[in-house]
Amino acid sequence: MSSSKGKARQRQLARAKHERQIARQATRTRRRRQIGAAVAVVAIIAGAVLLVLWLTGAFDSPEPAEDPNPVVSEDVPGDESPSPDENSSESPGEGASESPSEAGSESPSEEAAE
In a domain, 77, yes or no: no
The per-residue pLDDT for range 85-101, each reduced to its tens digit, is 655 555 555 555 555 55
CA distance 83 to 114: 18
Q: Give CA–CA dist 83/66, Å, rounded.
A: 29
Question: What pLDDT does 97 receive?
Answer: 54
Tens-digit pLDDT profile for residues 41-74 = 999 999 999 999 999 988 888 777 676 676 666 6
Could you tell me the pTM of the whole model?
0.44
Residue 74 belongs to a domain: no
Domain span at residue 35 reads 1-59
- Does residue 99 lie within any of the structural domains? no
Q: Residue 114 in contact with residue 107, Cβ under 8 Å?
A: no
Considering the domain boundaries, does residue 7 fall inside one? Answer: yes
Q: Is residue 43 a part of any domain in this protein? A: yes
DSSP 15-79: HHHHHHHHHHHHHHHHHHHHHHHHHHHHHHHHHHHHHHHHHTTTTSPPPPPPPSSPPPPSSS--S
Q: How confident is the model at residue 78 (pLDDT cuts 50, 70, 90)?
A: low
